[in-house]
Structure 1
Amino acid sequence: MKQKLFFTLVGASFALAAYAHYGTDLDLFKFITASLAVVFLAAWLGKATESVAHYAGDRIGGFLNATFGNAAELIIAFFLVKSGYFDMVKASITGSIIGNMLLVLGLSVFLGGLIYKEQKFNSLLAGHNASLMILAVIALFVPAVFMQQLPVAKINTLSIVIAVILIVAYVLWLIFSMVTHKDFLSDIEPHDGEPSWSKGVSIIMLLVATFFVALVSEWLVHSVEVVTKAFGWSEIFVGAFVIAIIGNAAEHSAAILLAMKNRIGAAVEIAIGSSLQIALFVAPTLVLISWFLGQPMNIVFSPFELAAIGASAFIAISISRDGATNWFEGVLLLAVYIILGTAFFFV
């Protein structure tokens, strides 16, 4: 009965968003209905992820959630790159990285910590995640440092070289963590209760929910641009915070839900794993795609974006490296996110 009611709400919210997108010219109405639909669709995706994680483990479940969640961002960013909106793409990449490390992880740790005094996850995995975050920060800082000393052509070549290295490093990390050393990085938290669906149905639900989340997210991005212009918000603030929060709605709900069920390992895998995937795979892939499209986008980020990414990585590493979390650490992550958001708002 609860599932019928839940899917009735999901269907109704999607139908309303579809009607608003195709049937009216009211941008604010489109924005509100699309936002409502994303909330219910993200809850559906979170439920599917939890069910898949029950069968495949929290590492693979979290990886699948991050991958499917980032697929929508990759598709939207592809069209932005094709249209030459490089600054918007870089801002959304920045927003995704810091949003997952600070907002998603912060809310997960805070709300989970209110229920459980201390939550633990694999400290070895946390250490490797920290090292990968440092690699991502180095890779983004180096082109910005050398930009003044190198011509545009060489900066573009350097960007391609760095992009290839990051993609190779990320693929090798997946092999290391899921094949050769998976036993060392395995889950340490119990899986209580029964999954909502069978293994096959869980995978189908994950795929279908991802499709609808991607579809409605695109509607929301189109409507949010007009709405934010009406409020006079800057492009970098819209890209780094508004669009990034919307694009990551799926990861938000899934990570928080799992953390509140004392499965902080899966929540960390979704939040940190998604940030790493954006920095080590999505951003480099967009650089290579832009090169094939004949209008290369370099990997040089603005000082504001680099400062935000560096600060986010620093606090996330400081909090997660010991493999244990509490609600106050969630407060610290959220405090840094609010500080960065306020700064970006005034840029």
Structure 2
Amino acid sequence: MKKWLNPALLIFTFLLSALGHFANWNFTLQFILSSIAVIFVAGFLGKATESVAHYAGQRLGGFLNATFGNAAELIIAILLIKEGLYDMVKASITGSIIGNLLLVLGLSLFAGGLKFKIQKYNVTLAGLNGSLMTLAIIALFIPAVFLNTHSITEGETKTLSLIVAGILIVAYIAWLGFSMITHKNYLADVSDDHDQDALPHEHGPTWTKKRSILYLVVATVMVAFVSEWLVGVLEPISHEYGLSELFIGAFLVAIIGNAAEHSAAIMLAMKNKIGAAVEIAVGSSLQIALFVAPVLVFISFFLGDTMDLVFTTLELVAIGVAVFIARSITQDGASNWYEGLLLLAVYVILGVSFFLV
């Protein structure tokens, strides 16, 4: 993987995507080139973040890794909000949550389980992660129920969404303090002391501190550009191939935006670092549900038209199903390949169902 994440190849894919955009090539070709560019830039961004994390300290580094890991998706969502494509934003949030809990976690457990019969991780952390995901479902469920039962108006729904978004952000910040400061050792991995707080790298950083920061800034800027080019062709692609916004947002955008995290989690699981792999998959879902989605609500508010947190019944069912089976499988603190297969089976079922919408 590291051989492919070099600056020269990154610049080549970026320029090729730029050429397709500004030369106004065929929409399908633009979509393919932009998708490839997003994957490469997101992967390079993840590598730069990992290198910066080495110098920033492990706990702060872990937070940076999660935050910049979702940078591509956050930027894509902001651009979709500016275009007024709120349904696609909500679909991409749904897709990111179920994609991390079912696809990323499923592939990690499956790949790791094929190599190691049983893999163990912190059962307390798994339980707390499950409780936080349950909080996210409650927060998404209540606005939809109150609006659909005509208990509140659309204007009041937006007010409720802003309040709920604020509460979720506070809960997420409190969780960071709990997991990184007050109960840091309590939530440490079950592996040996040397690996307890390890980030996803086994050797020292590839780059110096200054170069790591430079690459991090450059990659973030590049993500903003390629994300904008990708968003620009989503609507034409949906019309040309008859795909619903729900399917594009929940599956295509989510998979492309999180490609780097997918590969990192799977590789860690195959190195018997299942605790770190689970943290990437579940932790990313938590950040999307408790921080990214609420932040998008406030961003839409400041842009003049508040996006509510009213998700469709299909989206709520998909998130609920993903949380239910992921929590059921991870609550014992041990994993095997068959549990990974079960998660993948649910993901395929949801994928086919969304495609047919």
Task: Report the Cα offset of residue 21 of structure 1.
Answer: 2.3
Structure 1: runs of 5+ lacking an equivalent: none
Question: Distance between the aligned counterparts of 1:75 and 1:209, measured in 2?
Answer: 13
Question: Distance between the aligned counterparts of 1:312 and 1:185, measured in 2?
Answer: 23
Task: Report the Cα offset of residue 61 of structure 1.
Answer: 4.5
Name the counterpart of 1:261: 271
Q: How does 1:127-138 map to 2 (within 5 A)?
A: 127-138=127-138
Letter in 2 for 1:297: M
Name the counterpart of 1:212: 222
Structure 2: runs of 5+ lacking an equivalent: none
Mark the CA change 1:218 to 1:246 in structure 2 (over 3 Å): closer, same or farther: farther
Range with bigger deviation, 36-45 or 152-161? 36-45
Mark the CA change 1:10 to 1:260 in structure 2 (over 3 Å): closer, same or farther: farther
Name the counterpart of 2:96: 96
Letter in 2 for 1:195: G
> Is the Cα contact below 8 Å between 1:217 and 1:246 reproduced in 2?
no
Name the counterpart of 1:121: 121
Mark the CA change 1:319 to 1:56 in structure 2 (over 3 Å): closer, same or farther: farther
Q: How does 1:194-273 map to 2 (within 5 A)?
A: 194-197=203-206, 200=209, 201-273=211-283
Output the TM-score relative to the length of structure 2.
0.87
Mark the CA change 1:165 to 1:202 in structure 2 (over 3 Å): closer, same or farther: same
Question: Distance between the aligned counterparts of 1:342 and 1:207, measured in 2?
Answer: 38
Letter in 2 for 1:152: E
Q: How does 1:181-200 map to 2 (within 5 A)?
A: 181-189=183-191, 190=195, 193-197=202-206, 200=209
Question: Distance between the aligned counterparts of 1:258 and 1:59, measured in 2?
Answer: 18
Q: Percent identity at matched positions? A: 62
Equivalent pairs counted in the alignment come to 346
Name the counterpart of 1:164: 166
Mark the CA change 1:3 to 1:146 in structure 2 (over 3 Å): closer, same or farther: closer
User: What per-residue deviation string (whole Å, max 9, x for no partner) do you get for residues 65-117 of structure 1?
Assistant: 32113223223322332333221211111111111111111122222222222
Matching residue within 327, 330, 347 for 1:337: 347
Cα RMSD for the two superposed structures: 2.5
Mark the CA change 1:298 to 1:89 in structure 2 (over 3 Å): closer, same or farther: same
Name the counterpart of 1:176: 178
> Is the Cα contact below 8 Å between 1:31 and 1:223 reproduced in 2?
yes
> Is the Cα contact below 8 Å between 2:42 and 2:259 reproduced in 1?
yes
Question: Distance between the aligned counterparts of 1:143 and 1:297, measured in 2?
Answer: 12
SS at match of 2:203: coil
Question: Distance between the aligned counterparts of 1:247 and 1:197, measured in 2?
Answer: 24
> Is the Cα contact below 8 Å between 2:49 and 2:68 reproduced in 1?
no
> Is the Cα contact below 8 Å between 2:5 and 2:40 reproduced in 1?
no
Q: How does 1:38-53 map to 2 (within 5 A)?
A: 38-51=38-51
Mark the CA change 1:48 to 1:291 in structure 2 (over 3 Å): closer, same or farther: closer
SS at match of 2:350: helix
> Is the Cα contact below 8 Å between 2:110 and 2:337 reproduced in 1?
yes
Mark the CA change 1:5 to 1:203 in structure 2 (over 3 Å): closer, same or farther: closer
Question: Distance between the aligned counterparts of 2:62 and 2:105, measured in 1?
Answer: 13
Question: Distance between the aligned counterparts of 1:112 and 1:62, measured in 2?
Answer: 21
Mark the CA change 1:231 to 1:283 in structure 2 (over 3 Å): closer, same or farther: same
SS at match of 2:69: helix
Question: Distance between the aligned counterparts of 2:58 and 2:302, measured in 1?
Answer: 36
Task: Report the Cα offset of residue 211 of structure 1.
Answer: 3.8
User: What per-residue deviation string (whole Å, max 9, x for no partner) do you get for residues 233-269 of structure 1?
Assistant: 1111111111121122222222222222222222222
Name the counterpart of 1:277: 287
Mark the CA change 1:260 to 1:6 in structure 2 (over 3 Å): closer, same or farther: farther
> Is the Cα contact below 8 Å between 1:100 and 1:272 reproduced in 2?
yes
SS at match of 2:187: coil
